[in-house]
Chains A and B, each alone.
Chain A
Amino acid sequence: MNPAERNELIDDLIEERISEADFLRLEAELSVDPAARAAYYERVQLSMALTEHARQMPAKKAPMRWKTTPSWLAMAALWVALAGIAALLLRPGRTDSVAEVESTANGYAALVSQVDAVWAGQAGAMADGALLPAGIVKLESGLAQVELFSGVRLVVEGTAEFEVLSPMEMRLTQGRVRAHVPETAHGFRIHTPEGDVVDLGTEFAVNASAQSSELHVLQGEVEWHPHAAKMQNMVGGEALRWQAGGDHAAMTADQSRFVGLAEIKERHETAQKNRRSEWLRFSEQMRRDPRLLACYRMDVSDSGERMVRNLASTPAAKPGAGAIVAARRAEDRWGMTDGALDFSPAGSRVRVSVPGEHGSLTMLCWVKINSLDRLYNSLFLTDGHEVGAPHWQITQDGRLFFSVKKMEQSEKGRRDKHNAFSPPFWNTSLSGQWLMLAVVYDVKAGTVTHFLNGEILSSETVPDDFLVEDVRIGNASIGNWSEPAYRKDAEFAVRNFNGSMDEFLLFDAALPATEISAIYEHGRP
């Protein structure tokens, strides 16, 4: 089959006019010839593009095109439906009505990132990635990058007041918005107090206020529909300033006056870096804390180096560097490459040795858990299971589990230690999030307290019979267990932690809850 004949058959197929015999010939050709398939994709793509183009054509005369295009209505309807589904799926435990959720998220747009953003009213403190709330949103100050589900990307500068009405439509009563509109979202519209801007591609900015407003076309073309005058087309480089009364003046577009996507990305990264350096400063101080026995930061800069240094500066009998076994380098909680270790490869662990006898202890680590695959998932386990040795791990059902062995088991079934479990804190929605876990073993008070993200999960008293006052650690593993005696029982002995860790701290004292909380506040990304 020559290409001309093949292309003809492809067009016949797309026109749904192909005979069965020709279809089979074409299918055979497509199966064996990559060039034939490339031609097929190209022609399917062309028919899609022509359909799209034909759909947009009449809009040249009617700027309300997006309202007349059923696909966008369908898309909008889809997202409304999705917002409902999302609300239900995201909050399985909540019995609050869907109506409540619907009143808080509009399902048209997500807040992608923000820099020093202060939101007023119901928007409250929005996290990056949150769906934008329905209704009028007020950004008091700072920057926000908002992504509409049509693909429109907005950078909003506070003070701004706006409302996203659909994936293709928003209202801006006050503030600066720079809009980047992809091909698929042409027809995107911004209502302003003085008129409507309809995008014909690809980038423009609006600065609106009650007294006067400006429209800058940075690239491509827009239609400006003032309330008080006739529509006019504006192209890249043109700008308009108009007064509330209807007076207006032409200007030159000035993109430097509006923060763009590249700039907000840069500023967001800078903000993240700043938070990280703040943490490093805080951490620097903490390293001189005489209670700190070990501070293992898993940022092994050289891939050949298989050691993590103990950054704690003061302890007399200082535990040495940790030896990395199998664990791979991974991204840390600040998004820095190679700042963490991924313990998911079989056998992964960091081997450490902690000399001396201790009383109260605090262990703390930042982890990103992929899943809890094992019966017991190790955070910090001493080798074997000796009297006086602490074990800190996560059970498969998502509880933190801490114990210090009190005595040798005198007979089978007899307890040899007190097991302190937290209530389950884990569910799969936490998968991939960075969490700060901590446990405080307070010998004086006789308690074990579990923490998640700086907050107490549970606190319980260790019965006097089981309280161990001389804690010995010796050789231990972070993220796994080294225990020859149980080696044959894989289910029991394999405890490697399926996730990443970027920091592990060990204190020779019981830190008060306020300090744990402070470490979390300074250290959260």
Chain B
Amino acid sequence: MNESQQESAFVAELTGMQMPLRLYVQSLLPGDPATHDVVQQANATLWKKRGDFTLGTNFKAWAFSVARYEVLNYRKQQARDSRLVFGEDLEQTFAEEIAARDDDTERRHEALKGCLEKLRPQDRELLLHRYTASAGTLEDYAQRAGRSVGGLKVTLHRLRNALLGCIEKQLPPLEAES
């Protein structure tokens, strides 16, 4: 492989694992909307360090360790005392398991679309509005929606359960590779 082939192999590796990378970073920063920025920062760092990477070795493991470093950096910048952070061992387990997992993001996303259609329109709207960037905290949202935080929390939880149940049913079993 020449330099540009390696370059493009690297690009292919990098683009091919964006979803697992996001999942990993988000699992370390649950609920944090900054995940996206941290992932981009990790991408930039990976690109800068691509000379350190030998093609054919475990790209995900390497990328995840770089991403975790960016997460630590981000936490440092935030310096939020109140933040609850998982122990290092557990974070390492996340990395290993997510790296080993089939990337089913697209299939789940596709299934999710169908499942959202099955919700009552008002439920669907409530749920999706919760996930728009401007929704803010659950409190803000509850206030605007004119509902109690507790009630809203329960409703959202119930809706997510319903969606996950539906997605599971829609997902065709992965065809065994022969």
Contact = CB atoms under 8 A, between A and B. Distances in A.
Interface in B40-59: 40, 43-44, 47-48, 51, 54-55
B1 A432 contact: yes
Contact of A127 (B5, B9, B12, B22): B5
Given A49-B108, A183-B106, A15 B31 contact: yes
Q: Is the interface of A mostly helix, strand, loop or mixed?
A: helix
Interface stretch (B60-68, B70-78, B91-99): B91-99
A44 B89 contact: no
Contacts of A129: 1-9
Contact of A31 (B31, B87, B101): B87
A127 B4 contact: yes
Q: Is the interface of B mostly helix, strand, loop or mixed?
A: helix
Interface residues of A toward B: which range?
35 or more
Nearest to A167: B15
Interface residues of B, number: 66
Nearest to B18: A184
A485 interface: no
Nearest to B7: A129
A492 B93 CA distance: 44
A40 B101 CA distance: 13
A46 B105 contact: no
Given A15-B138, A149-B11, A54 B86 contact: no
A31 B89 contact: yes
Contacts of B9: 129
Interface of A: 7-8, 11-18, 20, 23, 27, 30-31, 34, 37, 40-55, 57, 71, 74-75, 78, 81-82, 85-86, 89-90, 110-112, 127-131, 147, 149, 151, 182-184, 428-430, 432-434
19 contacts: A8-B157, A16-B31, A16-B32, A20-B84, A41-B94, A44-B30, A45-B23, A46-B160, A48-B26, A53-B116, A90-B3, A110-B8, A127-B5, A128-B5, A129-B9, A147-B8, A183-B106, A183-B109, A433-B1
Given A90-B3, A434-B1, 15 more contacts: A11-B157, A13-B30, A15-B138, A15-B156, A30-B90, A41-B27, A48-B105, A53-B131, A78-B40, A110-B7, A111-B8, A129-B7, A147-B11, A151-B15, A428-B51
